[in-house]
Amino acid sequence: MKRLIITIIAFTMALVAEAQIQASHIFNGKSSNHMSSSCIEGNSLKPYKLTLFSTVTTRDRRLFEHAEEIIEDHEHKAIDKECGYINGRLYYGFYQFKPDSKGKYRYLFYRNSSLRDDEPCEITIVYMEGYPTLTELKKMFQK
């Protein structure tokens, strides 16, 4: 529980920096047995040119539409994006935000697997910071 709160705080701080999406708003500051999170920083990310990798996944259906609304409300801040929809609902969104003063890029990935019958009923939000370009990052995910 304590680790989850720390991860959500780190995730929130990272998002507020440019994307201005607060995880505490997405998840209403609540945690449950249906939520998992992780935050990775440091040397293990160097091969990927990343400095921060943070993820939150929840199976709590009460949070799905709210998370989708917040992501869509802030997507206009992205300098590049790729989105997919199923029946008018955001299935996935990959957003790149303006680099910070040190040249670090910021990326946000959102996926609502509950919109497909052949996938788990969950949403995942991933926030990444670092130096890979969008092209480099997409290549990493395709491997």
Domain residues for 50?
Answer: 2-142
User: pLDDT band at residue 4, thresholds of 50, 70 and 90?
Assistant: very low
Per-residue tokens: 46: 């160097």
**Between residues 24 and 54, which one has the greater pLDDT?**
54
pLDDT digits (tens, 9 = 90+) for 91-142: 999 889 888 888 888 888 889 998 998 988 898 888 888 999 888 887 877 7
Torsion of CA 117, 118, 124, 127, to 10 degrees: -130
How many domains are contained in the chain? 1
Q: Cα separation of 129 and 76, whole Å? A: 19
pLDDT digits (tens, 9 = 90+) for 29-53: 445 557 777 778 889 999 999 988 8
Beta strand 50-58 pairing with 35-41: antiparallel
Q: Cα separation of 53 and 129, whole Å? A: 7
Distances, alpha carbon 2 to alpha carbons 8, 15, 29, 109, in Å: 10, 20, 13, 24
Give the other-Cβ count within 10 Å of 142's Cβ. Answer: 6
